[in-house]
Amino acid sequence: MANDLFSPTQLGSIHLNNRIVMAPLTRNRAGEHGVPNDLNVTYYAQRATAGLIITEATPISPLAHGYPALPGIYTEAQIAGWKKITDAVHAKGGKIVIQLWHVGRISHPSLLPDGALPVAPSAIKPAGQAFTYQGLQDYVTPRALEASELPAIVQDYVHATKAALAAGFDGVEVHAANGYLLDQFLRDGSNKRTDNYGGSIENRARLLLEVVDAVVKTAGADKVGVRLSPVNPFNDMHDSNPQALFEYVAEALNRFNLAYLHAVEGGIHGGGKADPFDFVAFRKHFKGSYIANLSYDKARGNAAIASGHADAIAYGVPFIANPDLVERFKLDAPLNVADSKSFYGGTEKGYTDYPFLAA
């Protein structure tokens, strides 16, 4: 049988009915104390026909937050809230993994316990502004993490992984992309350390590999994915040699036998122009299943699967506006257009009220 977007596949222990993956999408609509609410349940359940849902990025601890109204995955109440979501998705035959997030320097003291300074590999203030409950505020200069603090951050990932399994998720995705903490350690534009976590490519990749190792030991490798964004300049990110860095990382991840590697193939969120990068060469360094993400439509998605470049394709904005994206692709039906004004925060408008195809 020919492989295309509609053929089933297996990512580790996760069986997908199709290869159309819902990309992680921050929507800023969680309840108080980072607890998912009934509106979130409806939103994810509506999209359960995706082969796999990857949730919005979800902070692993109180100090991992960087935006208002995010769900967390570290308290009992949050576990209970997410359990309603995983139950609803599973009841419709869907699969769902949670994306584990630490924002690092992309935060603001007003979003952190006791007005704490955001943390980072190095005390470098990113360009831009933080979204806070008081509106946009300039980023602050973060506090450089001591090497002695890093084991506790690894343990936060372990705790969040246990919480995710308790909440009924089919797996977890370690978010090491888009300018957040693990990506800040990877790229030399944000990592100027002189200890074992800075300098060489091997050193800069060390924290990510320690996190993945610990998460794999907690959940089992067949339930763990990793997301990378080799050249996304979003959040003031750059690297002097992204090809060498990320080919090393892809190769190093092979030792874990992960469920999948998920890559953002370029720049997203209007972060500026992405550096040139050979994603075909990069992909060849990773021996496992690969999810490609960025500006794929149905035809490009099918071509990437047919050529063997990707095993599944992640779609972001199309899933915001089309809860029944799989059905629309199948029928070549027109797609709803997404309203960008309602992407972040708000009510059911632009969240759960997009129309389905008429039955």
204-237 pLDDT tens trace: 999 999 999 999 999 999 999 999 999 999 999 9
Residues 169-198 have pLDDT tens digits of 999 999 999 999 999 999 999 999 999 999
- Whole-number pLDDT of residue 271: 65
In this prediction, residues 2-21 reach a mean pLDDT of 96
Q: What's the whole-number mean pLDDT along residues 25-32?
A: 97
Return the CA Rg of the chain.
19
User: Across residues 284-288, what is the average pLDDT?
Assistant: 98
Tens digit of each residue's pLDDT (9 = 90 or more) over 69-108: 999 999 999 999 999 999 999 999 999 999 999 999 999 9
Average pLDDT over residues 332-337: 97
The active-site residue, picked from 44, 180, 290, 315, is 180
Average pLDDT value for residue range 301-311: 97
What pLDDT score does 359 carry?
Answer: 58
Q: Is 180 known to be catalytic? A: yes
Domains assigned to the chain? 54-293 (3.20.20.70)
- Region 142-153 average pLDDT: 98
Average predicted confidence (pLDDT) for the chain = 97
Which residues, 6 or more positions from 264, have their beta carbon under 8 angstroms from its beta carbon?
A: 177, 178, 227, 228, 229, 230, 232, 293, 294
For the record, the structure tokens of 231 come out as 């050249």
